[in-house]
A and B are shown apart, each in its own frame.
Chain A
Amino acid sequence: MLAAKRRLGLVFFPAFDWAISPSHPEREERLLYTQDQIFEEGILDIENIKSYNPLVASKKDVERVHFCVPDVEERVTQSHLISAGGAIKAAQAVMGKEVDKAFALVRPPGHHAQRVVYGDRGFCIINVEAIMLENLRATYGPLQAAIVDTDCHHGDGTQDIYWNDPNTLYISFHQDGRTLYPGTGFLDEFGGPGALGYNINIPLPPGTGDEGILYVLDNLVLPILDEYKADLLINSAGQDNHYTDPLTNMNFTARGYAELNHRLSPDIAVLEGGYSIEGALPYVNLGIILAMAGLDYSQVREPDYDEKKLRQSPKITEYIKKLCENIYDRWRQREQIAREMLKGKDYVIRQRRVYYDTDGIMEYQTQRFKVCKKCSGVNTIESNSDRGMPIFAVTIPSDACPSCVDEGHKAFKNADVQKYFKIYLQDRPNDRYSARHLTY
């Protein structure tokens, strides 16, 4: 029987009994044909490929990352906890050295879920990768991690969660936000005052194909990762850059995805979006599994693959080259950029509107980051939604200095309970999560 060169852990959980709604892209059928392909190829019989069932993530796992309004129980279903738990299980297999790499093929996805959760946006409620990563840090101690998000949509949720964390490098390549949901992910979204430069967006023009994406990988992403030296490399493996995806306009192929995964060589991959459930997902997922296991993926091909049709225009190639140079320059000058931006500032204020497209909710928030020389800085979020329920949330980061710890506790204690529906405290150094509110 076939043996994989690398030990691969596979959490395949298609959640065949869960959907956002019967005809929603995120429905029961989504991974049906992927399962057919995995079964028919006999993937689970391959020596060194080990399959795992998901865990169910805990309330605390969620609270480490999110402020759920009104609370975790109300916002998060069992299906979401299982999706996050699937990612945790995959990561545990890697950390426990049972396998060399792991792939969590789980749904629903998570990369649009931000720190505050009023509802579902971009089919996401909780951020699967972030919950996984923070669970690992709580279990195994500090980890320098890099997340490379290859979903076609900008991972605005992951960006928000790691905005101010210098120990998590977030790189997203996606279709340009001027042409696609969620409309963010530009070069100037560069990170908070504690982590300026560690949030890297690579907005690609519609029509980008294998050539362009692999160019970005080789000439921008890999050099940055080389310099960053992460302990753990995570791939948010969205699959909607595929040329058959109904929601996007890119020209990436299954073999391109496999090649990308091979060159990137992440420790853990987690499925995100991807809604070409017949034309892409079976082949892309197969390609990623084979690449991660160190098996030959050169025979993976979509039924309607046509190399000529998918060739990238020279104009796009030229544009991407310039874009990469530009972004790489900014990365190299990140310290200088930070000095200029933060000069004379004690706090950095970030005002934003967050639209929950799946649930039709509009949120208005003000994030306030302390500029601190000793740590990444205590920060707060004041937020309200068009459905009401205003909140105030305080985050004391894991690396907080004594004065930021002190300031965080004071902010939590002094917040006016009359003014807010709920006041939250994320006490990361102590791994404690609490809330105050009037009795209602």
Chain B
Amino acid sequence: MIVGLDMGGTHVDAVLIHQGEIIEATKRPTDRSNMLQSILDTLESLLSGQDPSRIERINLSTTISTNAIVENKTDPVGMIIQCGPGLEKDFLRCGRENIFISGYIDHRGREVSSIDIAEIEETARVFKDRNISALAVVGKFSVRNNAHELKIKEMLENEFFPITLGHSLSGKLNFPRRVFTAYYNSAVYNIFYKFCESIHQAMQRQNIKAPVHVLKADGGTMSMKAGQQFPVYTILSGPAASVMGGQAFLKTSQDAVFLDIGGTTTDISFLADGVPLLEPLGIKIAGYPTLVRALYSVSIGVGGDSKVTVEGERLVVGPERLGRPKALGGMCPTPTDAMIVLGLMNIGDKRKALSAMKEIGEQLELSPEAAAEKVLDEMADMIKGKVDELLRDINSQPVYTVRELLYGKKIKPRFIQAIGGPAKALSPILAKKFSIPCRYPELFEAANAVGAALARTTSEITMYVDTAQRTLSVPEMGLHETISSAYSFEESRKRALALVREQSRLLGAREDEIEAEIVEESSFNMVRGFYTSGKNIRIRAQTKPGLIYQLWSDEDVGS
């Protein structure tokens, strides 16, 4: 049995899955003042009467870290930033205290100037004076050579905790994002750590020995132990749970639009050849771009409970939500009222829904039914407009080779997969607007929890090989080693695949779920003077994101 739990802002959803079937589902309101208790209560209710020894694993998606950030309850962080030459540095100040230190590594990982020991010692004094314990150390090009970051940690680790090192979070090149990612990791470290400890103790009390995993923003999981090191990856795992859940009811190898239509918002994401699309670099957290690998997901302010008004002669849906639909005792007409009027949904008080649409219709000189149709039409138009805009954006992502420019993949959705309360009712309208089929799973209420339950462990590594300098590095694994000058592209590829498997195991993957693949690779001859001095090889490998298994075989969509 697998347990999946997704804690959102308003509800905690949990499911118990056994052999491809949901055998138990629970929904409870989130108590924002005691999130841990909300989770424990939900689990208790889900598992009452079950044999704890039959639970194979528990996957949790939580908003602990996200909430700490939103509510300003994070720890103060001391930032040690090594900029080298380049952009002005003031915009990197994200910590309570920000110290810019000397020293500099270049693009090939060569030390141009060393760190100044006295400067680090002085920095430690400043942080102590200000009662700062959590640090983040980030250098420009530290992913090409982590020596400076390691040295600084070694100097400070007896007096400060935690210390996040920039290179360990991602191997991708983007210094400002590395700075902000490391900041957040240290800022939420303690709060997430304590949360994990509490979960751990609760599991022990209930005699549950199954491994506990936490969901990441990329729609994969990692062990709770790994999560304690890298809590930043758990930020914004909620939308990821929904997307993965939507996939559980769907088997496809085509491009698709994925819509999670909720009460307040609609989340839009995409499948490319059946695989959820990721953000190119990482998500934004509270306005700061990061290297947190994440499923691509964009929210617009339109949902079943959006406020519907008429401004002048124009119908306006959203972006605010003022409580519940009129049919359910709310104050304001909503798309849900429209769906009830049209008989697409059978909840609440139909007379109240009718009066809501009458109110809108009168201002537009339409019958209540015609007004209801117009409301849903407007809602579908807004979704379509945004999807088109996002696709234009995605399909014009920068490319760097002639081959990609001429023949590169462009996403062309063949169908829509919609989940959420209003999905079924909106489905025919969306299908007409987009001129492609719109599917909705019959049972989607707990999709987010199902997504959490079935998510696989994911990992990614970035390998950089420079045979002229005889170095191989994989920053995410802290690997920086010497290789032979004859090290080949083929050897590098093999090594990358082996390392990403190893990394997956370290993050808690079971051997049978690891599907390693290379997602980017290039090899450049480095020519100095008239001679080839070596090879510069870059490889990015990942374990394929996806589900442990499909929930139940719906029909295979156009494969």
Contact = CB atoms under 8 A, between A and B. Distances in A.
Contact of B87 (A16, A78, A282, A299): A299
Given A290-B87, A296-B88, A39 B174 contact: yes
Contacts of A14: 400
Interface string A27-68: 111001101110111101100000111101000000000000
A290 B86 CA distance: 9
Interface string A1-45: 110000000001111111000110001110011011101111011
Interface in B45-80: none
B401 interface: yes
A295 B88 contact: yes
B343 to A, nearest CB: 47
Nearest 5 CB-CB pairings of A with B: A42-B176, A39-B173, A301-B85, A296-B88, A36-B107
Contact of B289 (A12, A18, A45, A290): A45
A167 interface: no
Contact of A299 (B85, B106, B173, B176): B85
A301 B112 CA distance: 12
Given A39-B174, A40-B173, A295-B87, A17 B403 contact: yes
Interface in A49-100: 51-54, 56, 78-79, 82
B107 A37 contact: yes
A286 B106 CA distance: 14
Given A29-B536, A45-B177, A299-B83, 4 more contacts: A15-B401, A23-B525, A28-B525, A82-B402
Given A23-B527, A79-B402, A16 B289 contact: no
Contacts of A15: 400-402
11 contacts: A14-B400, A16-B522, A23-B527, A23-B530, A29-B527, A53-B398, A53-B405, A54-B405, A78-B406, A82-B402, A303-B112
A51 B527 contact: no
Contacts of B85: 283, 299-303
A290 B173 CA distance: 19
B144 to A, nearest CB: 8
Nearest to B142: A40
Nearest to B525: A22
A351 interface: no
B107 A41 contact: no
Interface of A: 1-2, 12-18, 22-23, 27-29, 32-33, 35-37, 39-42, 44-45, 51-54, 56, 78-79, 82, 246, 278, 282-283, 286, 290, 295-296, 298-303
Contact of B174 (A22, A35, A40, A300): A40
A39 B171 CA distance: 12
B88 A45 contact: no
Interface string B401-432: 11101100000000000000000000000000
B104 interface: yes
Contacts of A52: 396
A107 to B, nearest CB: 11
Given A23-B532, A28-B524, A41 B400 contact: no
Interface in B275-297: 287-289
A12 B141 contact: no
A27 B526 CA distance: 10
B524 A29 contact: yes
A42 B89 contact: no
A15 B522 CA distance: 12
Interface residues of B, number: 42
Nearest to A19: B525
A30 to B, nearest CB: 10
Nearest to B106: A303
A29 B525 contact: yes
B399 interface: yes
Contact of A53 (B399, B530, B532): B399
Given A1-B289, A17-B401, A298-B88, A29 B174 contact: no
Residue of B87, B525, B527 with highest tally of chain A CB at under 10 A: B87
Nearest to B287: A1
Contacts of A278: 107-108
B140 interface: yes
Nearest to A10: B398
Contacts of B87: 2, 41-42, 290, 295-296, 299
Contacts of A283: 85
A293 B244 CA distance: 40
B396 A27 contact: no
B192 interface: no
Contacts of A286: 86
A283 to B, nearest CB: 8
A218 B42 CA distance: 73
Given A1-B288, A295-B88, A42 B527 contact: no
Contacts of A79: 402
Contact of B141 (A17, A40, A51, A300): A40
B399 to A, nearest CB: 6
B175 interface: yes
B402 A45 contact: no
Contact of A18 (B177, B398, B402, B536): B402
Contacts of B531: 23
A272 B452 CA distance: 52
Interface string B373-404: 00000000000000000000000101111110
Contacts of B172: 39
A13 B400 contact: yes
A27 B288 contact: no
A299 B89 contact: yes
A16 B401 contact: yes
Nearest to A13: B400
Most B CB contacts (10 A, CB to CB) among A17, A27, A79 go to A17
B112 to A, nearest CB: 4
A16 B400 contact: yes
Contacts of A302: 85
A2 B288 CA distance: 10
A395 to B, nearest CB: 31
Contacts of B530: 23
A51 B398 CA distance: 7
Nearest to A246: B529
Contacts of A298: 88
A54 B529 CA distance: 31
Contacts of A27: 525, 527
A54 B408 CA distance: 13
Q: Among A27, A35, A36, which residue has the most Cβ atoms of chain B within 10 A?
A: A36
A11 B524 CA distance: 22
B88 A41 contact: no
A1 B93 CA distance: 10
Contacts of A82: 402, 405
Most buried by A among B83, B104, B106, B288: B106
Contacts of B83: 299
B405 A13 contact: yes
Nearest to A296: B88
